[in-house]
Amino acid sequence: MKSRAGTLAAPFPYFGGKSLACAEVWAALGDPVNYVEPFSGSAAMLLGRPTEGHIETINDADGFVANFWRAISLDADAVAKHADWPVNEADLYARHSWLVRQSQTLIERLLADPDYYDSKIAGWWCWGLCSWIGDGWCSSVNHKLPSLGDAGRGIPRQIPSLSASAGINRQIPGLCNSRSQFIREWFEKLQDRLRNVRVTCGDWSRVLNESVTTRHGLTGVFLDPPYTKGNMDYAVGGVGGTLADVVRAWCVENGNNPLLRIVLCGHAGEHDELLSHGWHLRKWKAHKGYALSDEAVANTASETLWCSPHCIPERKIQESLFDFETEAA
């Protein structure tokens, strides 16, 4: 349940997840009093924060994400119970089909009733992410199927991930009880970590106004929209599109605010327009993961972070290390 950096890990792999970028991102953001993550997905960046923040807000437009965190807050044990299930292809297919049909009304139910959550949807969604290969889990492409009456028609079928390491499906020695306890403890830790975090479910732009950001003081913003290149298929936002361009335009407009430290993710070159506005670059290395084509492997190798002018520059960290070493000598 720990990431490589020793912080709490997300309990499921997420396509485009940024757990391996945490060290670079937090080096650039420092320890701001306020933190906002408008495209949170697995919340890997929040969970990878070296210290717990004063005010923290995560958002995603996907109802499955919002339901997962609400269910974890209100009944982590029940979510753990539903997530605890062997990897089984027939179950993966059947549960995927069932979940896709829930998605039509899930957001409506979440927004209509502050007490509403569904621990079965949360647990199965998490279990499926750990068993599914690549993107497309509960995706919007599937949501748009014209007929969902006959369970599963048109829902893509694939062999489950048989690698032993994904999230809650990793190899745990011992009996069923050991795995159940492992999952339960992990979810309880997530429940504790998320206790003071505000979770919103909607469009990214809603959490970037002044009342959510700079009114609270120095604010770190981590922006990880679906990339323009690479055909990632998320449950919301679908495949490709121009969202990343709109996000970059917001960055151009707001990057010079001294109360904002902004980090934007993309592939090499994607947001280089920002360099002429005083932004600087940092690199990080993603897992090759399920990248099979040459293009996908190249995209993985070119993961880039654009850091706004008021982020902590890499130079500064090296200088302070140098000062420390000189003093110590």
Ligand X SMILES: C[S@@+](CC[C@H](N)C(=O)[O-])C[C@H]1O[C@@H](n2cnc3c(N)ncnc32)[C@H](O)[C@@H]1O
List residues binding ligand X (CB under 6 A): 14, 16-18, 38-39, 41-42, 44-45, 60-62, 203-204, 224-226, 234-237, 243
CB-nearer residue toward ligand X: 117 or 222 = 222
The gap between the terminal CA atoms of the chain, to the nearest Å, is 39
d(CA 249, CA 272): 12
Tokens 């923290």 belong to which residue?
Answer: 56
Smallest distance from the beta carbon of 306 to ligand X, in angstroms?
Answer: 15
Tokens at 17, concatenated: 């997840």
Smallest distance from the beta carbon of 271 to ligand X, in angstroms?
Answer: 14
Residue with CB nearest ligand X? 41
Q: How far is CA 229 from the centre of its chain?
A: 18
CB-nearer residue toward ligand X: 45 or 78 = 45
Smallest distance from the beta carbon of 225 to ligand X, in angstroms?
Answer: 6
CB-nearer residue toward ligand X: 44 or 130 = 44
CB-nearer residue toward ligand X: 232 or 274 = 232
Nearest to 154 by CA among 87, 101, 230, 102: 101
3-state secondary structure (DSSP) of residue 177: helix
**b/e per residue 55-68 (b: at least 16 CB within 10 A):** bbbbbbbbbbbbbb
Partners of 265 in the β-ladder: 305
Q: What is the dihedral sign for C-alpha 303, 309, 314, 315?
A: positive
Smallest distance from the beta carbon of 188 to ligand X, in angstroms?
Answer: 21
CB-nearer residue toward ligand X: 24 or 60 = 60
Smallest distance from the beta carbon of 13 to ligand X, in angstroms?
Answer: 9
